[in-house]
Amino acid sequence: MDNYASGLYYDNLMRVRTHHDLNQWFKIFLTGVIETARNGVKTFDGILHLQKEIDGKLKDIGARSGDAYKVVQYLYSHPIIEAQKVSEITGKTMRPAYNLIKVLEELDIITEITGAQRGRLYLFQEYVNLFND
């Protein structure tokens, strides 16, 4: 809630106390509920669109697509990942895990965020962005 909305909410809550105007507070409260629901629908639509876009990218990478789908499914609940986790998810050694990470980077699905040589972390940026709008 931004400062304006917060102030409006508390002003109307105070009005309930001073003027017994419960209806005005309900209006403000329900307006907030409606706005929250709209934002939820917008985010959900964005997730569905992103999922469709990623599915399109992954279907063209051949034999690695099965492992890539597993990793992407994990990313929807944990948008930051490391190579060791990719290895665990796919059941493959580190070399194929790094190769898959490279493919996912080339497809702009994940982005390396540490700038380090070791212990790199990768972010599912497009997904995270959906929650920042």
> pLDDT confidence of 5, banded at 50, 70, 90?
low
Structure tokens at 52: 């469709």
Backbone angles phi, psi at 82, to 5 degrees: -125, 165
**Domain span holding position 32:** 1-45
Given pLDDT bands bounded at 50, 70 and 90, which one contains residue 17?
confident
133 and 91 share one domain? yes
How high is the pLDDT of residue 7?
A: 73
Residue 6 has pLDDT above 80, yes or no: no
Q: What is the pLDDT of residues 80-123, one digit of tens each?
A: 999 999 999 999 999 999 999 999 999 999 999 999 888 999 99
pTM for this model (two decimals): 0.75
Please report, for the domain that includes residue 87, its CATH number.
Answer: 1.10.10.10
Provide the domain count of the chain: 2
- Cα separation, 38 vs 121, whole angstroms: 32
| Distance, CA of 59 to CA of 4 (rounded, Å) | 46
Rounded Cα distance, 133 and 117, in Å:
32
Q: What is the pLDDT of residue 78?
A: 97
Indicate whether 33 and 74 sit together in one domain.
no
